[in-house]
């Protein structure tokens, strides 16, 4: 067994990213579920480095606290002034004990880099026992990038930055991707010899290659098979184009594992999402964060799921869910909003214009239409009538509503929490339920209806309604109806509902 190499990963993330024109440091911009920095760290993760150092500078506090969340084992090292990539690596190495092994350096803004590619670079470097190896790529447009300058035998001579290059060097389309493997000791040595004799007056990491080569050390180029992986991110236009490229990569991978994407161009799946076989994702759908979709589930069209778990065979149509759980065979939407801790058991249904928050909806229970369910527990096989509100908030505190199994609540109910409706209980339509309803009882909480016979014929004389009423024999009792108090009151039935003196409140609902 060969001795395993000690490996150190250094990620360069101190730059400002001026062209992003952002208060957020460039490496913290998100791209399908991870920040740019998060993508780079996850590409390096399979290297199983003994330590990972992230050079921070611009927005150091923000970058540090992000690292605390996503990579608590990584060591942030402050580069207070950005004096160049060589300077950054020098500072990084000052923070780690001197020793043998491989130092892998990765620019913080190359999010499409695959773990396989950085792995192949490091393996090639270690097998060749090179002093330094650079990842290179042939690109259609090398503008702004460092060029790989080779000698007559095709060996690396030096890396030249565009602004320091002569016209012949600028014509080279083989570029430095900003990803390298170095022998630790020889890197330290060369970093101590860097000059700032260049157009930017910075210490260039890339000059290490020329220095080592002049000293007769073996330096190598590892060419990436797919140049797309080496694309950097300098402004928001590039960020958007990287997002499309990553979307296509992610979507293709899911389709190859047996997931149907009906319109990949409008399907955006974070790299952190998982889907089972035979899941079907319809168009214009975003799956984000820790979302998991079970086999045979149907998602979309027009769905956004954030950190949401969808069971096998469930369906979610034209809906938005955050931090929710949708059980096996359950159905959601169209037009539903599931908020954090909305939990639907198997075969439950949340229908149209329904919002659910911090509530359990038991197996087979249905909340089909126009309803808010907040802070509730609903048992199994229960039906919640249309247009109901779980009144959970008293202005200061939230309270729970508990509804049992096999209950049938009427349409247009208000459940004023804390309140309980027992197993098998019913409630009448239009009820405001403020008291518990025992198991098997019918809860009724509404005013009795009264009809004022002949009201329309008397008070709306001459209208089509009055004529229709008359034809239908609806003049009966009209002589008993009091005359209108004023013309304006007669015109606007509402006055009567407020005053309540001469007519029924029911006319307000027009």
Q: Which residue numbers are catalytic?
A: 369
Per-residue contact string for residues 22-61; x = within reach of ligand UD1 by CB under 6 A: ---------------------------------x-x----
Residue 107 near ligand UD1 by CB under 6 A: yes
305 binds, among Mg ion, ligand UD1, none (CB under 5 to 8 A by kind): none
Q: Is 267 in the site for ligand UD1 (CB under 6 A)?
A: no
Q: Which of residues 217-236 bind Mg ion (CB under 5 A)?
A: 232
Omega of the bond leading into 301 within 30 degrees of 0 (cis): yes
Burial of 66 (0-12, 13-18, 19+ CB in 10 A): buried
The binding track of 182-221 with respect to Mg ion, each residue x by CB under 5 A or -, is: ----------------------------------------
Binding segment toward ligand UD1, per CB under 6 A, in 80-88, 212-220, 376-384, 464-472: 80-88
Q: Is the CB of 105 or the CB of 378 nearer to Mg ion?
A: 105
Contact predicate 474/492, CB 8 Å: no
Among residues 282, 340, 335, 280, the alpha carbon closest in space to that of 309 is found at 340
- Cα–Cα distance measured from residue 82 to residue 265, given in angstroms and rounded to the nearest whole number: 39
Question: Which residue, 237, 267, 263, is CA-closest to 250?
Answer: 267
- Contact between 109 and ligand UD1 (CB under 6 A)? yes
Q: Which of 47, 130, 161, 268 binds ligand UD1 (CB under 6 A)?
A: 161
Which listed option, ligand UD1, Mg ion, none, makes contact with residue 362 (CB within 5 to 8 Å by class)? none
- C-alpha of 255 from chain center: 20
Query: Which one of the spans 107-115, 165-173, 239-247, 324-332 is the region binding ligand UD1 (CB under 6 A)?
Result: 107-115
DSSP E strands, 47-101: 51-56, 75-78
**How far is it, in rounded angstroms, from Cα 248 to Cα 263?**
11
Please say whether the dihedral angle defined by the alpha carbons of residues 65, 97, 42 and 86, taken in this order, is positive or negative.
positive
By CB under 6 A, the residues from 322 to 351 that bind ligand UD1 are none
Q: Does 105 bind ligand UD1 (CB under 6 A)?
A: no
Q: Which residue in 33, 59, 76, 178 binds ligand UD1 (CB under 6 A)?
A: 178
Among ligand UD1, Mg ion, none, what does residue 12 contact (CB within 5–8 Å per kind)? ligand UD1
Closest chain position to ligand UD1 (CB): 146
Q: Which is nearer to Mg ion, 57 or 232 (CB)?
A: 232
Q: Of 172 and 310, which has the nearer Cβ to ligand UD1? A: 172
Between CA 173 and CA 178, with CA 174 as vertex, the angle to 5 degrees is: 125
Asked if 396 contacts 377 with a C-beta cutoff of 8 angstroms, the reply is: no
Q: Is 452 in the site for ligand UD1 (CB under 6 A)?
A: no
The residue (of 232 and 294) whose beta carbon lies closer to Mg ion is: 232
User: Binding to ligand UD1 by residue 159, rule CB under 6 A?
Assistant: yes
The one segment of 10-18, 264-272, 326-334, 379-387 that binds ligand UD1 by CB under 6 A? 10-18
- State yes or no: residue 83 binds ligand UD1 (CB under 6 A): yes
Q: Which two tokens stand for residue 297?
A: 């589930």
CB contact burial 171-198 (16+ within 10 A = b; e otherwise): ebebbbbbbbbbbbebbbbbbeebeeeb
Q: How many CB atoms lie within 10 A of CB 206?
A: 23
Cα 258 to Cα 251: distance, rounded to the nearest angstrom: 11
Q: Does 130 bind ligand UD1 (CB under 6 A)?
A: no
DSSP secondary structure of 122-162:
HHHHHHHT-SEEEEEEE-S--TTSPEEEE-TTS-EEEEE-G
Binding test (CB under 6 A) with ligand UD1, winner from 60, 77, 136, 205? 205
Considering CB under 6 A, how many residues would be counted as binding ligand UD1?
A: 28
One residue of 52, 102, 133, 176 binding ligand UD1 per CB under 6 A: 176
In 3-state terms, what secondary structure has residue 490?
helix
The two beta strands, 34-35 and 30-31, are antiparallel
Closest approach of ligand UD1 to the CB of residue 288, in Å: 25
C-alpha 40/C-alpha 11 separation (Å) is 8
Give the residues lining the site for Mg ion (CB under 5 A).
232
Give the residues lining the site for ligand UD1 (CB under 6 A).
12-15, 55, 57, 79, 82-85, 87-88, 107-109, 145-146, 159, 161, 175-178, 204-206, 232
């Amino acid at each position: 067994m060969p001795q395993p190499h000690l490996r150190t990963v250094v990620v360069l993330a101190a730059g400002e990213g001026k062209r992003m024109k952002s208060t957020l440091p460039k490496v913290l911009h998100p791209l399908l579920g991870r920040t740019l920095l998060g993508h780079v760290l996850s590409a390096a993760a399979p290297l199983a480095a003994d330590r990972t150092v992230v050079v921070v500078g611009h927005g150091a506090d923000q970058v540090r606290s992000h690292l605390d969340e996503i990579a608590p084992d990584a060591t942030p090292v402050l580069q207070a002034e950005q004096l160049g990539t060589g300077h950054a690596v020098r500072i990084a190495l000052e923070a780690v004990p001197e020793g043998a092994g491989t130092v892998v350096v990765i620019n913080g803004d190359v999010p499409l880099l695959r773990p396989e590619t950085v792995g192949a670079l490091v393996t090639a470097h270690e097998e060749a026992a090179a002093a330094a190896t650079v990842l290179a790529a042939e690109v259609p447009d090398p503008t702004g990038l460092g060029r790989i300058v080779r000698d007559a035998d095709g060996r690396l001579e030096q890396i030249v930055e565009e602004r320091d290059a002569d016209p012949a060097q600028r014509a080279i389309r083989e570029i430095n991707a900003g990803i390298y493997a170095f022998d630790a000791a020889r890197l330290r040595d060369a970093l101590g010899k860097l000059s700032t004799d260049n157009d930017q007056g910075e210490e260039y990491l890339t000059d290490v290659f020329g220095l080592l080569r002049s000293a007769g050390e073996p330096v190598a180029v590892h060419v990436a098979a797919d140049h797309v992986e080496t694309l950097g991110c300098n402004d928001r236009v590039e960020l958007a184009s990287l997002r499309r490229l990553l979307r296509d990569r992610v979507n293709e991978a899911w389709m190859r594992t047996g997931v149907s994407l009906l319109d990949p161009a409008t399907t955006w799946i974070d790299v952190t999402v998982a889907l089972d076989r035979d899941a079907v994702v319809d168009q214009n759908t975003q799956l984000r964060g820790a979302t998991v979709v079970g086999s045979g589930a149907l998602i979309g069209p027009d769905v956004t799921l954030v950190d949401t778990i969808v069971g096998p065979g469930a369906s979610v149509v034209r809906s938005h869910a955050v931090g929710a759980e949708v059980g096996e065979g359950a159905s959601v939407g169209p037009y539903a909003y599931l908020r954090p801790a909305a939990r639907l058991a198997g075969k439950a249904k949340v229908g149209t214009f329904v919002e659910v928050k911090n509530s359990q909806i038991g197996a087979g229970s249905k909340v089909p239409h126009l309803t808010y369910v907040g802070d509730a527990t609903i048992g199994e096989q229960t039906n919640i009538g249309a247009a109901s509100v779980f009144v959970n908030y008293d202005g200061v505190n939230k309270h729970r509503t508990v509804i049992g199994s096999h209950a049938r609540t009427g349409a247009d109910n208000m459940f004023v929490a804390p309140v309980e409706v027992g197993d098998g209980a019913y409630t009448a339509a239009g009820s405001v339920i403020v008291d518990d309803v025992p198991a098997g009882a019918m809860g009724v909480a509404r005013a009795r209806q009264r009809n004022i016979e002949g009201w329309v014929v008397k008070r709306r004389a001459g209208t089509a309604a009055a004529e229709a009423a008359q034809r239908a024999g609806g003049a009966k009792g009209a002589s008993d109806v009091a005359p209108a108090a004023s013309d304006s009151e007669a015109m606007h039935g509402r006055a009567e509902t407020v005053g309540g003196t001469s007519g029924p409140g029911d006319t307000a609902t027009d």
